[in-house]
Amino acid sequence: MTGDAARTSFEYFVLRCVPRVDREEFVNVGVVVYCQGPGFLAAACDVKVDRLRALNPEVDVDTVCAALATIEAVCRGDDSAGPAAGGSRRERFGWLAAPRSTVVQPGPIHAGLTADPARELAHLLATLVA
């Protein structure tokens, strides 16, 4: 079997923090990856407080981190995240990818191929957020 044959398609989006929605400036703070084949849905986050404060010195970092923790809980299907965590992985991914007028916003959905969704998540976090 070739390397390509062992790969499966996945979708992902970047989580953005928009400290001042009126200015439309953002900092990438996380990534959500969904891969149907192996039943993978996970988020990884890395908040760079200095970057957020450069855009808005008064940003509520605790609120941003709480929103990201909720996103991670929805990915896990954790009941503590409320009704959004109760659907299928595909439904939860769709719910998380839906735009909202909040400080933490999803970017556009992208697709790719991977042999290891968890490793892909770590790679995307390192490449797009760190």
**pLDDT tens, position by position, 55-68:** 999 999 999 999 99
User: Is the pLDDT assigned to residue 6 strictly greater than 90?
Assistant: no
113 token code pair: 């191929």
pLDDT given at position 101: 73
How would residue 4 be classed by pLDDT, with cut points 50, 70 and 90?
low
Question: What secondary structure does DSSP assign to 65-91, as a single string?
Answer: HHHHHHHHHHHHT-GGG-GGGGS-HHH
Instruction: Give the residue from 3, 5, 1, 15 showing the smallest Cα distance to 121.
Output: 15
Pure H helices in 6-109: 49-55, 61-76, 89-97
User: Greater confidence, 113 or 2?
Assistant: 113
pLDDT given at position 95: 95
Angle, in degrees to the nearest 10, between helices 89-97 and 61-76:
150
- Burial status of residue 14 (CB atoms within 10 A of its CB: 0-12, 13-18, 19 or more): buried
pTM, full prediction: 0.92
Q: Amino acid letter at 8? A: T
Q: In whole angstroms, give the CA distance from residue 121 to residue 117.
A: 6
User: Is the pLDDT assigned to residue 19 strictly greater than 50?
Assistant: yes
pLDDT given at position 1: 44
pLDDT tens for 68-126 read 999 999 999 999 999 989 999 999 999 999 988 789 999 999 999 999 999 999 999 99
pLDDT given at position 3: 53
Q: In this predicted structure, which of 4-8, 32-36, 41-45, 107-111 has the lowest mean pLDDT?
A: 4-8
Instruction: Give the residue from 16, 12, 53 showing the smallest Cα distance to 129.
Output: 16
Q: In whole angstroms, give the CA distance from residue 98 to residue 100.
A: 7
- Please count the other Cβ atoms lying within 10 Å of the Cβ belonging to residue 90: 13
